[in-house]
Amino acid sequence: MKKLLAFMLATLLLLSALPLAGAAFKDDLAISPDHKAAVEEMSQRNIINGFADGSFGPRKTLTRAQAAKILCVMLEGAEKAEALTKTETGFSDVPANNWAAKYVAYCVDKGIVAGVGDGKFDPDGKLSFAAFAKMLLVAYGADGAGFTGADWMTNVEKAAEPTILKLHITDKLNNNALQRQKAAQMAYNMLFTAEAKAAKTQKDLSGKLPTSVPEKLKVLAVGNSSSNDCMLFYLWELLKDVGVKEFTIANMYKSGCSLQMHAEFAVGKDTAYQYYKRTQSDGKWKSTKKNTQTLDVPLEDEEWDIITFQQNAAGCGHAETFEPWQELLLYYVQRKQPKAIFGWNMVWALTNGTKKESFQTYGNDQMQMYKMISDASVGNMENEKRYQFLIPVGTAIQNARTSFLGDRLDRDTAHLNKGIGRYIAAMTWCCKLTGADPDKITYLPEDLVLDKKEYSIAGLDMSNPKLLEALGKVARESVRNAIANPYEITPSQYTTAP
């Protein structure tokens, strides 16, 4: 299996990095939007072609012969598959002059396909959804002996989860005839998963975060509303304050977006995002409308120095939700941004008493949620070597909760207060990304003491002239301690309100 994955990487990684044009089929409009990206990618790689009349036939049923060609080309590449010379299949209905003979012969030799009985292969026979899933699994190293007997389909479905049957495939595995467009999606899911696994250790990790403030910096977050809280307020001003002369910051935003959703949106080229971007030259945030952009937009917009990723609140403390989606997402991004340094944004635990359903999976307990987030982040940094740094926002927020601020850093029990909460998050990002010393930061905005609902801190007098300075001290202390001890809470010395 390792040799197969290494071969796949060597032969297909170059192809996967090339720009892929749209499929020029005359029935292109008949292809489902759910499967259009997969059809385009697979046709560009010459794995699944159309018919002589220029059509793709998206709703036509995949034949057994067509499946054999797809599998052969997936494993060998189009050029090598075309050059195959063995045409002896052992089946009376697939003579040597049959167009699919060499592909069938190849798949028979590899143990991927078998006949239908009486010495026949039935090349024009319709293939079922379940049968093609089985073929894909066997082609990529699964033991076909486990897919026999009365429970064969159940076993196939279990083995094919989650990627083959979840990335833009909504049907439950069945024996119904398989449409060609769905076959293209399944095949691409399998191929992309294999490539992603093979590429996991191939990223150039020579780049490192700066140990002193850089002159130039370009940062992209692939995130959700949590990365909005970290970036949209104060980060631009903080970068300027610490001495970065030229910078661009951006957030690819989708509310509640999980790693799984990001992977699905990437593979399907879905217009699911809102793109926020702010440059040092104009100092203003510019954004597109919601649900109008694909992930390709920022990846093709700039050559980013740093790209960060994060899990949503529901999954951030549940490491089992990270993979295989994270592996697919990072591979997708690294193909387009091979020089970027990848980082993990450790988000914060929710406010005690929140009614958020996801909080129940953490025992409705903030400290338990924080511990689970911390443990999941430790494991993620150990298991995913492409992450070269962690931004400990969750720990900085938890540190601040031990101060006189208490559990009052939110605006709605999930998102951070638009004043001090977001200021702490942005400072954590700024100091981690630039190596700046939080104790040397002078930027302390009056916004932190605005007497407005989403800025105010319950129970504190926002007009107290000493409050702003006290908030600055808590922020700097919380960030300094989080960077020094990213997975542990450090109690604050500022426990009495001014």
Rounded to a whole number, what is the distance in angstroms from the first to the last CA of the chain? 64
pLDDT of residue 18: 30
pLDDT at 24: 81
According to DSSP, residue 117 is labeled: B
Domain boundaries, the chain: 2-199, 216-484
Interatomic CA distance for residues 164 and 161, integer angstroms: 6
Find tokens 């490192």 and name the residue: 208
Neighbours of 32 (CB within 10 A): 15
CATH of domain 216-484: 3.40.50.1110
Q: Which residues contact 356 (CB under 8 A, 6 or more apart)?
A: 313, 350, 413, 414
Q: What was the pLDDT predicted at 23?
A: 47
**How much is the CA Rg of the chain, to the nearest whole Å?**
26
CA distance 113 to 109: 9
Q: How confident is the model at residue 16, as a pLDDT?
A: 35
Amino acid in the structure at residue 338: P
Rounded CA gap, 7 and 76, in Å? 9
* Total count of residues recorded for the chain: 498
To the nearest 10 degrees (0 to 180), the angle between helices 325-336 and 2-17 is: 40
277-300 burial, b at 16+ Cβ within 10 Å, e below that, comes to bbbbeeeebeeeeeeebbbebbbe
Collapsed DSSP state (helix, strand, coil) of residue 390: strand
pLDDT value of position 135: 95
Return the percent helix, strand and coil in the chain, to nearest 5: 45, 10, 45
User: What span, in angstroms and rounded, lies between the C-alpha atoms of 455 and 202?
Assistant: 45
Q: How many other CB atoms are found less than 10 A from the CB of residue 65?
A: 22
Sign of CA dihedral 381, 382, 387, 389: positive
DSSP-derived 3-state class of residue 362:
helix
**Residue written as tokens 């090339």?**
18
| H-assigned helices in 143-218 | 152-160, 163-166, 180-199
Residue-by-residue DSSP string for 370-388 = HHHHHHHHHHHHHH-TTEE
Cβ atoms of residues 49 and 70 within 8 Å: no
| Alpha carbon distances (Å) from 163 to 91, 309, 327 | 33, 20, 11
d(CA 118, CA 124): 16
0.75 surpassed by pTM: yes
pLDDT at residue 385 in the model: 92
pLDDT for res 203: 77
The per-residue pLDDT for 2 is 43
Q: What percent of the chain has pLDDT over 90?
A: 87
> How many other C-beta atoms can be found within 10 angstroms of the C-beta atom of residue 19?
8
User: For 217-267, how does the pLDDT look when each residue is reduced to its tens digit (9 = 90+)?
Assistant: 999 999 999 999 999 999 999 999 999 999 999 999 999 999 999 999 999
- Give pLDDT, residue 4: 46
From residue 253, give the alpha-carbon distance in Å to each of 87, 257, 293, 480: 52, 8, 10, 28
CA angle 14/339/194 to nearest 5° reads 40
Q: Which segments in the chain show pLDDT lower than 70?
A: 1-23
Cross-sheet strand order for the sheet of 306-309: 285-287, 274-279, 246-253, 216-223, 306-309, 341-345, 387-391
Which tokens is 247 given? Answer: 């910078």
Amino acid, single-letter form, for residue 214? P
Q: Are 443 and 237 in contact (CB under 8 A)?
A: yes
According to DSSP, the β-strands at 285-287 and 274-279 are antiparallel
Q: Read out DSSP for 416-449?
A: BPTTHHHHHHHHHHHHHHH---GGG-----GGGG
β-bridge partners, 126 = 63
Residue 386: CB atoms within 10 Å: 22
Say what the pLDDT of residue 100 is: 94
